[in-house]
Amino acid sequence: MTVHVAAQLNPDRFVVTGGRAFAASVESLEASATSFDAVSAALGRVRQALYVARLRVEGAACTRSSVAPRISEESARIEAAVRRCVDEAAREASAVRRAAANYLEEEAKRRSALDGLQNLVVDSDVMAGLLSVFVPRGLFADRSDPASAPGRWAAAFMRFLNRAKIGGAPEDAIDVTRKEVVGGREEGGSFAYAVHALGQAQGHEPLEDGTIVPPSSILVERFPQADGSVAVMVTVPGTETWDLDSADGNVFDSESILDGMERRDSHVRTLIKEALNDQGLGPGDRVVFNSYSQGSIHVLGLLEEREFADRYHVAAVTSVGGPVSAFAVPDGVPVLSLSNADDVVPAASGRASPPSGSVVEVRTPSRIGPAATLIPKEAVASAHSLENYAGDASALDRSTAPGVKEFAAAVGAALGSSAAASGPGAGTPEGPVAGPVASGPGAGSPADASPGTVAAPAAPGQSGAARERFIYTGTDSRTKEGGGG
């Protein structure tokens, strides 16, 4: 079911919360309140000093002095004025703090003001109630903490129940192959391009040369920079099979959902790590992620890994229909979460995260309005559809919301001028990826590589060179049905 009302494509109707602009606003208000506190305290000390000086003058003055009474009177008048200033500064500090609190409250209200099924999942205690039968009370009581989100415990519980039906473990190695394909020909830094690339990675539409991305794959595209560095865009699709442990080894199955939500390692995380390792990135290189649905689970899970965060400079993450609130996004990593009011997947954590300086949340209005509660199956399918999200992304490129503009600027800065469209790259035969590359970007070539390895792709030395793009396909060889477990 495809539903798209033209009015819904107006970005002014999108509810945008969070982002660095939000954080700066709240921090500025708190800084102002602190300044007023400091002024009030300083003036209080001045008033006390005037009072002490007046007492000394009165004590030292002659009985018949005509000056002493005038000094005492003037000092008392100044003290009263200073006292009024002290009280006014204290009132201003209190007023500014109330403004900050009201700002936070308004942000929260804006996020919950939309209609749709997503709010029903986030605002209800149904999941927590069900889990309380099986999980000790208190483990998920603090819903403000991603680690205590009901969705995490639900995934752990489901993984435990189905452990006999899953072959191997999430940290098992997988088979990974790489194939070079034609580079993108569109502007790479737009939201429309991000969702278009997700559609290609999902196998919904062909690449520019007609290639269909095979199942169980991610896309990696290199954006060469004028200074010799490179930005890499990694596009991670969503669930491709609802089989618990797909017999054909597809890593985007239900097993990976449970592993990723439970904060364990996952086969998709392994696929992403292998692909990035194969790129031979250095300290000056950057990584930009596009992720959809299940893909967001694994990308955001990687951001929580200290080793991964230390090794790669993740410049931005675009999450489409993903449960961002289930994860703790590190400070300094810009994330934009695009979701529809009827899309229940982003609410899979069972919690609503507070407005954050790291995360810009964009919620688009219900696609079918009040009817969503009457025909939820159709509403959910439409809300989570990449086709509909493509329309939302195109509209988002026209948004003037500060949080959206700042995130777009972060993506643009990461990709540089090479984000512009460029010609096709040369293809190479696909081959296995095994172990690290010889050295940094551009080290070696397929001819140089030792048996069983693929050397890192060459990094053009200047901006404007053709963008390179690769398909990395992962296969879980220890599936229960496959007999390897």
**For 163-188, how does the pLDDT look when each residue is reduced to its tens digit (9 = 90+)?**
888 988 898 999 999 999 999 888 89
* Cα–Cα dist 485/474, whole Å: 17
Token output for 156: 């752990």
Same domain, residue pair 151 and 78: no
Which comes out higher in pLDDT, residue 441 or 77? 77
Same domain, residue pair 98 and 157: no
* Cα–Cα dist 2/442, whole Å: 44
* Cα–Cα dist 92/423, whole Å: 59
pLDDT of residue 124: 46
Residue 337's pLDDT band, with cuts at 50, 70 and 90, is: very high
Total residue count of the chain as it appears in this document: 485
pLDDT of residue 53: 77
Q: Is 429 helix (H, G, I), strand (E, B) or coil?
A: strand
Mean pLDDT across 37-43: 82
Which comes out higher in pLDDT, residue 12 or 60? 12
DSSP H or E segment with residue 20: helix 20-60
Q: Is 209 helix (H, G, I), strand (E, B) or coil?
A: coil
In a domain? residue 120? no
Token output for 348: 């899979």
CB 197 within 8 A of CB 290: yes
Token output for 305: 């890994």
Give the rounded percent of residues in the chain with a pLDDT score beyond 90: 40
Token output for 386: 């990449």
Residue 394's pLDDT band, with cuts at 50, 70 and 90, is: very high
Same domain, residue pair 92 and 30: yes
pLDDT of residue 125: 47
pLDDT of residue 144: 53
Backbone angles phi, psi at 192, to 5 degrees: -60, -40
Of 104-113, 249-258, 366-375, 381-390, which has the strongest mean pLDDT?
249-258
pLDDT of residue 350: 65
Question: Does the structure show a pLDDT above 90 at 161?
Answer: no
Residue 306's pLDDT band, with cuts at 50, 70 and 90, is: very high
Q: What angle do CA 88, 90, 92 make, to 5 degrees?
A: 70
Residue 444's pLDDT band, with cuts at 50, 70 and 90, is: very low
Same domain, residue pair 380 and 271: yes
Same domain, residue pair 268 and 376: yes
pLDDT of residue 373: 58
Same domain, residue pair 82 and 216: no
The model's pLDDT over 215-235, given as tens digits with 9 standing for 90+, comes to 999 999 999 999 999 999 999
Question: Does the structure show a pLDDT above 60 at 460?
Answer: no
pLDDT of residue 119: 61
Question: Does the structure show a pLDDT above 60 at 333?
Answer: yes
Distances (CA, A) of 300 to 236, 253, 294, 318, 460: 11, 18, 10, 10, 30
Question: Does the structure show a pLDDT above 60 at 308?
Answer: yes
In a domain? residue 121? no
Question: Does the structure show a pLDDT above 90 at 411?
Answer: yes
Mean pLDDT across 354-366: 83
Q: Give how many domains the chain has, as a whole number.
A: 2
In a domain? residue 128? no
Which residue range is the domain that position 34 belongs to? 22-112
pLDDT of residue 137: 45
Q: 427-466 burial by CB neighbour count: b if 16+ within 10 A, else e?
A: ebebbebbeebeebbbbbeeeebeeebbbbbebbeebebb
Same domain, residue pair 194 and 337: yes
Same domain, residue pair 224 and 321: yes
The model's pLDDT over 52-104, given as tens digits with 9 standing for 90+, comes to 777 777 666 665 666 667 777 777 788 788 888 888 888 888 887 887 787 77
Which comes out higher in pLDDT, residue 396 or 15? 396
Question: Does the structure show a pLDDT above 90 at 205?
Answer: yes
CB 391 within 8 A of CB 192: no
Residue 441's pLDDT band, with cuts at 50, 70 and 90, is: very low
Same domain, residue pair 168 and 296: yes
Question: Does the structure show a pLDDT above 60 at 380?
Answer: yes
pLDDT of residue 239: 96
The model's pLDDT over 184-204, given as tens digits with 9 standing for 90+, comes to 888 899 999 999 999 999 999
pLDDT of residue 121: 55
Mean pLDDT across 109-122: 59
Which comes out higher in pLDDT, residue 36 or 457? 36
In a domain? residue 60? yes
Same domain, residue pair 147 and 101: no
The model's pLDDT over 247-263, given as tens digits with 9 standing for 90+, comes to 999 999 999 999 998 87
In a domain? residue 178? yes
Same domain, residue pair 74 and 173: no
Of 126-130, 228-232, 368-372, 386-390, the range with the lowest mean pLDDT is 126-130
In a domain? residue 105? yes
Same domain, residue pair 91 and 155: no
Among 92, 112, 132, identify where a domain stops: 112
Q: What would the DSSP string read from start to end of 234-262?
A: EEE-------TT-TT-BSSSHHHHHHHHT
Residue 427's pLDDT band, with cuts at 50, 70 and 90, is: very low
In a domain? residue 279? yes
Q: Which residue has the tokens 């936070």?
A: 104
Predicted TM-score (pTM) of the model is 0.72
pLDDT of residue 469: 97
In a domain? residue 41? yes
pLDDT of residue 455: 37
Q: Is 95 helix (H, G, I), strand (E, B) or coil?
A: helix
